[in-house]
A and B are shown apart, each in its own frame.
Chain A
């Protein structure tokens, strides 16, 4: 279902590339992400990186990418510090459980998989936040946030998934990158 056990760990090149992707994602979220709005909601690039990391790299690497992406997102949010890290870790892991199925399929399934995982990520984030005393996170506004983030992240996955494949599987891990998606 996922990559073989020996391929689970990041090598040094992959670690550097994932960090680079995370840095660029933060900058894009701070600049372009805030400007792209639909019904007052903008895409969640950091969540998209976590989901794509899981879809490409499998459960363990998905959890690691999710944790890193969440922690970086937490630096710029006024929500409890660590909340994004926790929810993105779980979503990255969950997305990774379906990586083999989805990535061997055509692009519509990648889009749908990223959209569903992003929607689940937003709901999990809001529920965990509410559990930590931020009850305003679960409100009427949650539905448009979940819907818009799912749509925008689903479309964005068509770009981010290949980038994450480049980051997680350097050419030395030949074979894996030959997958269609």
Chain B
């Protein structure tokens, strides 16, 4: 006799999928400033101390393995010399690390491209949760004045913009994320740079031939009407210009000036997009600037 599959699991599946669909619809309608944004903020604030605690717990474990690795490379030396050398090296590495941090922070103190904007220094505490968005987590949130939509820069140039701000942390969408678009210019030539993924150059569209751009030029944010970024922040250096005769636009790539994979400190620029831009500060993942 054939076994009949019970209908309850399918009913539960349908119910849960419909619930998820309803949540998606509500999320779209309320945007980041609505209930969903608040819920995300609460969740981040709840998990943030736990996250910091766990990271602190596991950091010595990582240090232990790094120490073990160093020991292996020095095993031919005698014990006394090894101890002294190890100690000296640790001190040297620590000093070099402090020098590097000091240099990074000094650079942030004197951003050459945003002299009139107030800056909030923040430390990068983590990369993003998912695989589909290129984001960074900062250790500063609304309590320090960080708001959704604010640009984020390092000493070299533009990093991204804040898409989620919680009480003590915030999330930055990197310029290299495929959903990120930035209005850029090189002299009088303007275009829109789009992210292509981590480690990839940004593609610049809407540069019409004959354009006066050349390799190694630095493109900066255009800050045109309703832009998401203030003007003049360096974005990247032109790494490719190919002018195919007859094409409607030139193929231009720019290599970001900032190495997104090794960021430790950044500056959040206290600047808000013009309120005339509908949804500009609403925390959506995409938008042009």
Residues of A within 8 A of B (CB): 2, 5, 8, 26-32, 34, 40-42, 44, 58-60, 63-64, 66-67, 70-71, 73-83, 85-86, 89-90, 93, 96, 122, 125-126, 129, 132, 134, 136-137, 139-141, 145, 149
A89 smallest CB distance to B (angstroms): 5
- List the A side residues contacting B192 at CB < 8 Å: none
24 chain-A/chain-B pairs, Cβ below 8 angstroms: A27-B51, A28-B54, A31-B58, A40-B199, A41-B131, A44-B131, A64-B12, A67-B20, A71-B23, A73-B130, A76-B43, A76-B47, A77-B130, A78-B133, A81-B24, A81-B26, A81-B40, A82-B21, A93-B9, A96-B9, A136-B179, A136-B286, A139-B197, A141-B178
Interface extent on B, as a size class?
Answer: 35 or more
Q: Say whether chain A's binding surface is mostly helix, strand, loop, or mixed.
A: helix
Q: Mark B22-43, 1 if CB is under 8 A from A, else 0.
A: 1110111000000010011001
- Name A93's closest neighbour in chain B (CB-CB): B13
A82 and B16 form a contact (CB under 8 A): no
Q: Which A-B residue pairs are the 3 nearest by beta carbons?
A: A81-B27, A82-B23, A136-B178
A80 and B58 form a contact (CB under 8 A): no
- List the A side residues contacting B47 at CB < 8 Å: 26-27, 30, 76
- Name A128's closest neighbour in chain B (CB-CB): B24
Docked complex Cα distance between A22 and B81 (Å): 49
A80 and B28 form a contact (CB under 8 A): yes
Docked complex Cα distance between A74 and B133 (Å): 12
**B156-202 contacts to A (CB < 8 Å):** 163-164, 171, 173, 177-179, 197-199
A40 and B198 form a contact (CB under 8 A): yes
- List the B side residues contacting A125 at CB < 8 Å: 132
B13 and A89 form a contact (CB under 8 A): yes
Docked complex Cα distance between A140 and B19 (Å): 31
A119 smallest CB distance to B (angstroms): 13
Given contacts A27-B50, A90-B13, A139-B178, contact A82 B130 (CB under 8 A): no
B9 and A60 form a contact (CB under 8 A): yes
- List the A side residues contacting B43 at CB < 8 Å: 75-76
B125 smallest CB distance to A (angstroms): 10
- Name B52's closest neighbour in chain A (CB-CB): A31
B26 smallest CB distance to A (angstroms): 8
Docked complex Cα distance between A37 and B194 (Å): 24
Docked complex Cα distance between A63 and B286 (Å): 31
B8 and A5 form a contact (CB under 8 A): yes
Given contacts A78-B164, A79-B133, contact A134 B285 (CB under 8 A): yes
20 additional A-B residue pairs with CB within 8 Å, beyond A76-B130, A80-B24, A145-B131:
A2-B9, A5-B6, A8-B8, A27-B51, A59-B9, A59-B13, A60-B13, A64-B16, A67-B20, A76-B129, A77-B130, A78-B171, A78-B173, A79-B133, A81-B24, A89-B20, A125-B132, A136-B132, A137-B132, A139-B197
A75 and B179 form a contact (CB under 8 A): no
A134 and B126 form a contact (CB under 8 A): no
- List the B side residues contacting A132 at CB < 8 Å: 24
Docked complex Cα distance between A72 and B56 (Å): 23
Docked complex Cα distance between A140 and B135 (Å): 18
- List the A side residues contacting B135 at CB < 8 Å: 78
**B84-109 contacts to A (CB < 8 Å):** none
Q: B9: which of A8, A26, A27 is its contact (CB, 8 Å)? A: A8
- Name A44's closest neighbour in chain B (CB-CB): B131
Most buried by B among A26, A126, A136: A136
A137 smallest CB distance to B (angstroms): 5
Docked complex Cα distance between A28 and B53 (Å): 12
Q: B129: which of A29, A59, A96, A126 is its contact (CB, 8 Å)? A: A29
B127 and A60 form a contact (CB under 8 A): no
